[in-house]
Amino acid sequence: MEAKRWRQRRRGGPVKPVVQRVKALRLSRDDFEVIKVIGRGAFGEVCVVKLKGTEKVFAMKILNKWEMLKRAETACFHEERDVLVYGDRRWITNLHYAFQDDSNLYLVMDYYCGGDLLTLLSKFEDRLPEDMARFYIAEMILAIDSIHKLRYVHRDIKPDNVLLDANGHIRLADFGSCLRLQEDGTVQSNVAVGTPDYISPEILRPHTQPSFYRVPLPYPHTERSSLPCFLNLSSPTEPLHALPTQT
């Protein structure tokens, strides 16, 4: 029997090589049905998808390889994958599958039906009640701390990237700007990333550090109907308005 199988392999018979069998079992984009697109970014888009043959719904992040190669200095796919794999699942988006094809990289995560913090803010006309603000600020601190314990820094925390699960708890999302912390607690980067409206002014000044008050960046947004910091575009190191630091 073994000799027969060996001869079949030699002739390319019915016994398929292991590699082909593995490829046949591997997930691909065709295994998912796209329900709708819920977000677009520099490297691709995020879709709500359903795994075919089941009722399981996920969020699929699709990253274009060519776009990532063109912007290699700001594309942090490996860092994003590592945070999703090794991060504390209580505070971040949960990763289920990761695969690729010739054109794209795919990350398939839980879909959080609660929306995001920005949408919640808009429902309260950008002024959350104090008890609700305290709750979300506390959870954000725990979420950010869990990333720092992995020796990574998020670099783009804003209400859009704070998702809400079905029970109203937060999930920190979008780790595409993450970098690994060096031994001295800093990161090495020559490229500006993040969203200007939520960058602490101290970050733009050399040899200064942002206060702990600025850790949950959407915090000022929860008590005022304005963004945390408006930057003077003609002089980006001088904010037009910034909240005072606390010690």
- Residues annotated as catalytic are 156
Residue 178, both tokens: 């993450």
User: Within the chain, what is the greatest distance between any pair of CA atoms?
Assistant: 81
Closest CA to 236 of 206, 201, 207, 186: 201
Tell me: is residue 61 an annotated ligand-binding position: yes
Query: Residues annotated as binding site for ATP?
Result: 61
